[in-house]
Structure 1
Amino acid sequence: MTPTEARTALDTARAEADQAHEVVEALTERVREGDEQVTAEHIAGQRQLAELAGLRVTAAERKLTAAEAADRDARAQAIAADARTLISTDDTRPVLDAVQAAVAALEHLLAVTASRTARIHEVAEQAVKVNEELKRSDPAAGPWPSSNYGFRAQTFPAHVAVMGEGTADAIRPGRMAAAVLAMALDGDRSLTGEARQVFNAPFEHVIERLNADVLGLAGALRTTREER
């Protein structure tokens, strides 16, 4: 018998017991009202039925307890088997490979972003410097005499513009990395919350915890750095 079936049987037994007690109460009330047709035998017989119904409720309760215990045991046995299978077949290699690939890709992104930003800074500094020289040589030329040569620039944040052709704006590598992570998380609040916890914690503690949770992670990270 399943727990659901046992609960249904208990509900039925309780309903029958309630009905039996109501009949006893109704008979006794009829006697109080002076009904001489109700005999002692009637009341005694109904009380016996009510007592039997009560015993059936107790029996149903015990069956429910046994059914729930058997169900718990069966589920615990099944979970134990699943846990053993999980431990025996768990493979962190795909995770470690993905970590190495992600670290390498992110480091490459940081490198190319930093290189581009440095180039923009270099040109911007030169452009700002020559613009200042042009202003000093001809105060009437206004704040952007470099416009006469087709360009403008600023250094903080680094920005270079060539009229009619386009602009180049420096991007902070850290912000670019954070933006990529945000895109990967795709607005998932749970994942975003986990990421915030990592960023708010000391880096050493984060790595120590991850190394404890994922066997082999420390070696994978070390290998990735050694291959750079």
Structure 2
Amino acid sequence: MAKTADAPTPAQARTDLADAQRERAEAQSLADALAEQIRSGDANVTPGDLAAKRDLIEFADLRVEAARRRLAAAEEADRHARAQQIAQRVQAATAADQTEAMTASVQRVTDAVADLHALVSSRNEQVRDLSHAADAIADELTAQGIDRQTSRSTYGVMGGTGPAGGRSVVHYATGTRMHELEPARAIAGAVALALTPTEITTLYTALRATDGGVGALFNAFPFAADLRDAIGRAA
């Protein structure tokens, strides 16, 4: 059997066990052959010869058992070593610099969402103002008994209802159309541009949670308490 260090790796210990088992099989084969010689009437074989072969089998059995124990110890030591490596990587992944980087990234997303929300809300106010102004022209025509659609051909502008609900306004000379869009829909569309269809489905499921997925975010990443507060206020 190959000699190994005091603390073999699992692979080395498995090789040692295979060697010990092979030696045990060889010892058994030799003993069986000697026993057959005795059965065949070979008078040259002595009791001592047979005892020696049987002692060799017992010795081989002990070596197999020793190899099994060394393998078990090597596997246990390997598990401990791997667990320690995992623990070190967990500590590295949750170090302050990574936590701060994750928090900064989340903060950038929440800031971008807030900016987009504000921009869409401001645009919606413009759409409503322009739509109502165009409606006022059509209303004046209606008050004079003129079809309000005349506003389209005569003045080139019309107010109305947008495709997603809310108000809309159209400038027919240029084909320019403006309509309201709920800020949340604008945010959803922007986020969806960065996701796969499967991820969009996951996002939809997450947003249906009571907290919109904020709890899952905090559970997945060990943000510090003060950073959690900052994210929570921005979310």
TM-score in terms of structure 1 length: 0.68
2:3 maps to what in 1? none
The one of 90, 108, 131 aligned to 2:96: 90
2:134 maps to what in 1? 127
* CA distance, structure 2, for counterparts of residue 222 and residue 57 of structure 1: 62
* CA distance, structure 1, for counterparts of residue 199 and residue 72 of structure 2: 39
Superposed, which structure 2 residues align to 1:51-200 within 5 Å?
51-77=58-84, 89-91=95-97, 92-128=99-135, 130-131=137-138, 134=141, 137-138=145-146, 144-149=149-154, 150-156=156-162, 157=165, 158-165=167-174, 166-184=176-194, 186-187=195-196, 193=202, 195-196=203-204, 198-200=206-208
After superposition, give the CA deviation of every residue in 1:148-193 in whole Å (9 maximum; x if it has no partner).
Answer: 1323442243333222412223222111112223334x32857973
3-state SS of the aligned residue for 2:193?
Answer: helix
After superposition, give the CA deviation of every residue in 1:134-153 in whole Å (9 maximum; x if it has no partner).
Answer: 568345xxx84333132344
* CA distance, structure 2, for counterparts of residue 129 and residue 40 of structure 1: 125
Q: CA RMSD in A?
A: 4.2
* CA distance, structure 1, for counterparts of residue 177 and residue 53 of structure 2: 98
* CA distance, structure 2, for counterparts of residue 218 and residue 67 of structure 1: 43
Listed as ranges, the gaps of 5+ residues in structure 1 are none
State the AA in 2 paired with 1:160. Answer: V
3-state SS of the aligned residue for 1:154?
Answer: strand
* CA distance, structure 2, for counterparts of residue 220 and residue 199 of structure 1: 20
Change (3 A) 1:112 1:148: same
* CA distance, structure 1, for counterparts of residue 69 and residue 80 of structure 2: 16
Contact 1:210 1:217 in 2 (8 A): no
* CA distance, structure 1, for counterparts of residue 228 and residue 19 of structure 2: 61
2:5 maps to what in 1? none
The one of 8, 15, 38 aligned to 1:8: 15
TM-score in terms of structure 2 length: 0.67
Higher helix fraction: Structure 1 or Structure 2? 1
Deviation at 1:113, TM superposition (A): 0.4
The one of 201, 209, 222 aligned to 2:209: 201
* CA distance, structure 2, for counterparts of residue 154 and residue 18 of structure 1: 93
Listed as ranges, the gaps of 5+ residues in structure 2 are 1-7
* CA distance, structure 2, for counterparts of residue 151 and residue 13 of structure 1: 94
State the AA in 2 paired with 1:169. Answer: H
Deviation at 1:55, TM superposition (A): 1.7
State the AA in 1 paired with 2:223. Answer: V
Deviation at 1:114, TM superposition (A): 0.9
Count residues in correspondence.
217
State the AA in 2 paired with 1:154. Answer: G
* CA distance, structure 2, for counterparts of residue 168 and residue 90 of structure 1: 47
* CA distance, structure 1, for counterparts of residue 91 and residue 114 of structure 2: 38
3-state SS of the aligned residue for 1:167?
Answer: strand
State the AA in 2 paired with 1:200. Answer: R
* CA distance, structure 2, for counterparts of residue 179 and residue 2 of structure 1: 54
